[in-house]
């Protein structure tokens, strides 16, 4: 591949990851617009759409629905932590301004650095540890722990970032074992839907047509985000374009302002700058040393 072709692929990767960030921000908007529906109900319908898309995708492959037996324990753990991540993220979205909730969820790469020690036996460098510390200092500005009980949604948001980061680490582990991406998505979506189903059956809240369409929009937006991010990393390596995923915070801030009339306060903005700086340094360090 010549330099021109490589540059074209790189630009396509950036375009797709920016699209992914927009779709995931749109998913957050739909989750918030769904109103006072239980978090379990929101997550169930979001994941149900993902199940349908994953099943259709796998049905068109030669291997169909085959799952590597040696990957099943890790797939279970990936699904468990992923479910914790999505439930906490959805609850935080319902109780915080959109940009704050999305920023705390973007702590996931830094949690992945920590969890890689235990799951992958990878020892981060001192530089990577310093970035983890820097990111969590930024998170404190968003959490505002001195506000007491008012910081509970922020703490749940951080737990969502932890669940997502741990899940991503297990995704990497099963990918190293050769498991297919659509299988990982299907396994998680089915697992998460089954976890949510009993709660939905016990405490189902009747939905208006508008709420049904909103949750459909959340599921389709999440699917669009997943497809776009998959395409992005097909065109360009993560080390080169992952930083553009943080544009989701900009989308969330803009959508939150125009749809909900909310704006982050000064402390949150300071936290954003610190966390984004840590992410930018990590991206540059990874790109430089690869």
Angle at 162 between CA 157 and CA 167, to 5 degrees: 125
- SS3 of 179, please? coil
Number of domains in the chain: 1
Residue 9 · residue 236 · CB < 8 Å: yes
HEC readout, 73-113: HHHHHHHHHHHHHHHHHHHHHHHCCHHHHHHHHCCHHHHHH
How do residues 137-171 score in pLDDT, each as one tens digit?
999 888 877 655 457 888 999 999 999 999 988 98
Instruction: Calculate the alpha carbon distances from 97 to 90, 156, 186 in Å.
Output: 12, 13, 30
pLDDT tens per residue across span 262-280: 989 999 999 999 999 999 9
CA distance 82 to 70: 19
Provide the residue range defining the domain that includes 142. Answer: 3-289
Nearest Cα neighbor of 238 from 185, 183, 149, 168 is: 168
pLDDT at 79: 94
Q: List per-residue pLDDT tens for the chain, 290 residues long.
A: 444 446 678 788 889 889 989 999 999 999 999 988 999 999 998 898 888 888 888 898 888 888 899 999 999 999 999 999 999 999 999 998 999 999 999 898 899 889 989 998 888 889 989 999 999 999 988 887 765 545 788 899 999 999 999 998 898 888 888 888 888 888 998 999 999 999 999 999 999 999 999 999 998 998 888 778 877 877 777 667 778 888 888 899 899 999 999 989 999 999 999 999 999 998 888 877 76
Query: Tokens for 213?
Result: 């369409």
Joined together, the tokens standing for residue 220 give: 């389709």
Give this prediction's pTM. 0.87
CB atoms within 10 A of CB 68: 15
Question: What pLDDT, on the 0 to 100 scale, is given for residue 211?
Answer: 93
């Amino acid at each position: 591949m010549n330099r021109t072709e490589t540059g074209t692929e790189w630009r396509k990767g950036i375009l797709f990851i920016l699209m992914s960030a927009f779709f995931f921000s749109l998913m957050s908007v739909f989750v918030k617009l769904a109103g006072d529906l239980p978090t379990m109900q929101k997550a169930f319908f979001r994941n149900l759409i993902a199940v349908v898309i994953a099943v259709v995708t796998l049905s068109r492959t030669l291997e169909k629905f085959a799952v590597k037996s040696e990957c099943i324990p890790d797939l279970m753990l990936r699904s468990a932590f992923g479910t914790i991540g999505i439930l906490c993220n959805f609850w935080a979205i319902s109780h915080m301004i959109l940009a704050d909730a999305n920023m705390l969820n973007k702590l996931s790469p830094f949690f992945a650095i920590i969890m890689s020690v235990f799951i992958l036996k990878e020892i981060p460098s001192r530089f990577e540890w310093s970035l983890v510390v820097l990111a969590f200092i930024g998170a404190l500005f968003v959490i505002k722990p001195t506000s007491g009980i008012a910081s509970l949604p922020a703490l749940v948001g951080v737990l969502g970032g932890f669940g997502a980061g741990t899940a991503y680490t297990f995704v990497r582990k099963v990918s190293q074992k050769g498991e297919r991406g659509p299988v990982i998505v299907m396994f998680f979506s089915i697992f998460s839907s089954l976890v949510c189903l009993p709660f939905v059956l016990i405490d189902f809240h009747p939905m208006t047509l508008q709420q049904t369409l909103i949750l459909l929009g959340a599921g389709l937006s999440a699917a669009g985000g997943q497809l776009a991010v998959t395409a992005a990393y097909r065109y360009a390596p993560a080390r080169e374009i992952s930083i553009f995923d943080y544009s989701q915070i900009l989308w969330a801030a803009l959508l939150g302002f125009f749809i909900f009339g909310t704006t982050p306060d000064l402390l949150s903005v300071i936290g954003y700058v610190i966390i984004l700086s840590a992410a930018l340094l990590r991206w540059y360090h990874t790109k430089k040393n690869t």
